Chains A and B, each alone.
Chain A
Amino acid sequence: MNLHEYQGKELLKSFGVKIQEGIVVFNAAEAVEAAKKLKELYNSDWCVVKAQVHAGGRGKGGGVKLAKSPEQAGEFAKNMIGMHLVTPQTSAEGKLVRKVLVAQDVFYPGPGEHREFYISILTDRGRGGNVIIYSPDGGMDIEKVAEETPERVFTEFIDPLLGLRPFQAQKVAFNLGLSGQAFKEMVDFVQKLYAAFLGSDASLFEINPCLKTSDDRIIAVDSKVTLDDNALFRHKDLEALRDKEEEDPADVEAQEYDLNYVKLDGNVGCMVNGAGLAMATMDLIKLSGGEPANFLDVGGTADAERVENAMRFILKDPNVKAILINIFGGIVRCDRVAQGVVDAYKKIGNIPVPVIVRLQGTNADIAKKIIDESGLQVMGAVEFQEAADLVASVLKQ
Chain B
Amino acid sequence: MSVLVDKRSRIIVQGFTGKEGTFHAEQMIAYGTNIVGGVTPGKGGQTHLEKPVFNTVEDAVKQAGADTSIIFVPPAFAADAIIEAAASGIKVIVAITEGIPVQDMIRAKAYVDNKDVRLIGPNCPGVITPDEAKVGIMPGFVFKRGPIGLVSKSGTLTYEAADQVAKSGLGITTAIGIGGDPVIGTTTLEAIELFMNDPETEGIVMIGEIGGTLEADAARWIKANGNKKPVVGFIAGQTAPKGRKMGHAGAIVGGADDTAAAKMRILSENGITVVESPAQIGATVKRVMGK
Q: Which residues of A contact B (CB under 8 A)?
A: 123, 125-126, 128-130, 159-161, 198, 201, 203, 228, 230-231, 233-234, 260, 262, 264, 266, 272-287, 291-292, 295, 297, 328-331, 360-362, 383-385, 387-388
Contacts and interface: CB of A to CB of B under 8 A. Distances in A.
B128 interface: no
A362 B27 CA distance: 14
A231 B277 contact: no
A160 B104 CA distance: 10
10 contacts: A125-B182, A125-B213, A128-B110, A129-B110, A275-B180, A275-B251, A276-B207, A276-B236, A330-B156, A388-B277
Contacts of B142: 330, 361
A283 B157 contact: no
Contacts of A126: 212-213, 217
Interface in B263-284: 276-280
Given A128-B183, A275-B247, A328 B160 contact: yes
Interface of B: 27, 75-76, 99-104, 106-107, 109-111, 113-114, 137-139, 141-142, 152-160, 163-164, 180, 182-183, 207, 209-210, 212-213, 217, 234, 236-241, 244-251, 260, 276-280
Contacts, number: 168
A130 B106 contact: yes
B163 A360 contact: yes
A287 B278 CA distance: 10
Contact of B239 (A198, A283, A385): A283
A331 B250 CA distance: 25
Contacts of A360: 160, 163
Contact of A280 (B101, B106, B278): B278
Given A231-B101, A264-B239, A361-B142, 4 more contacts: A233-B76, A277-B160, A278-B247, A282-B237
Contact of A362 (B141, B164, B182, B239): B141
A125 to B, nearest CB: 5
B103 A228 contact: yes
Contacts of A203: 102
Given A125-B182, A283-B238, A385-B279, A262 B244 contact: yes
B75 A277 contact: no
B110 A328 contact: no
A276 B107 contact: no
A159 B159 contact: no
Contacts of B247: 260, 274-276, 278-279, 295, 297
B180 A128 contact: no
B75 A230 contact: yes
Chain A to chain B: the 10 pairs with minimum beta-carbon distance, closest first? A276-B154, A275-B247, A274-B156, A276-B157, A231-B101, A280-B278, A160-B110, A279-B236, A384-B279, A330-B139
A276 B153 contact: yes
Contacts of A274: 154-157, 247
Given A277-B154, A328-B156, A360-B160, A201 B101 contact: yes
Nearest to A285: B239
Contacts of B102: 123, 201, 203, 228, 230-231
Contacts of A331: 27, 137, 139
A276 B107 CA distance: 26
A280 B236 contact: yes
Contacts of A231: 101-104
Contacts of A159: 110
Contacts of A272: 156
Contact of A284 (B111, B141, B212, B279): B279
B190 to A, nearest CB: 12
Nearest to B243: A89
Contact of B237 (A160, A283, A330, A385): A283
